[in-house]
Amino acid sequence: MFEVISNSVVVLFLSVGVFFLWVGIVGIIRFPDIYSRLHAATKCDILGAGLVLIGLIIYEGFSFDALKLLAIAALLLSSSLVIGHAIARAARRTDLVFWHENREEKIMLEKEKLFREIFKV
């Protein structure tokens, strides 16, 4: 009985995790520019892989393999954030312009003016 419950919990976690990984993949295909692709990639990486890892930890029980999975989860969380920031910074410093709805008007403007300042610094 207990095994049935734990197995169904594992199936739930794995299915939701794989669904979110697929959301990341579809986002990378459909979004128009690199910054919005980074939105999809970083967030869905963290939650999707994290849910799959939690499901595998529940399936494993308490052992050294569960500790290894926990180490991989911590590594994935920090590495996904760092990769997202590194790629975004490289994109801004190599002058990639971000996508906007009415691009034809905006593209005539100077590049720094594209950064709409909602904050007055």
- Within residues 27-86, the interface with other proteins by CB under 8 A covers 27-31, 33-49, 52-53, 56, 59, 64-65, 67-69, 71-72, 75-76, 79-86
Binder among 96, 105, 106, 108 for other proteins (CB under 8 A): 96
Long-range contacts of 90-99 (CB under 8 A, 24+ apart): 91/34, 91/35, 91/38, 96/33, 96/34, 97/33, 98/33, 98/35, 99/32, 99/33, 99/35, 99/36
Q: Quote the least distance from Cβ 107 to other proteins, whole Å.
A: 14
Measured N-to-C along each axis, helices 64-93 and 34-60 cross at an angle, to the nearest 10 degrees, of: 180
According to the binding rule CB under 8 A, does residue 92 interact with other proteins?
yes
Binder among 9, 58, 88, 106 for other proteins (CB under 8 A): 88
According to the binding rule CB under 8 A, does residue 106 interact with other proteins?
no
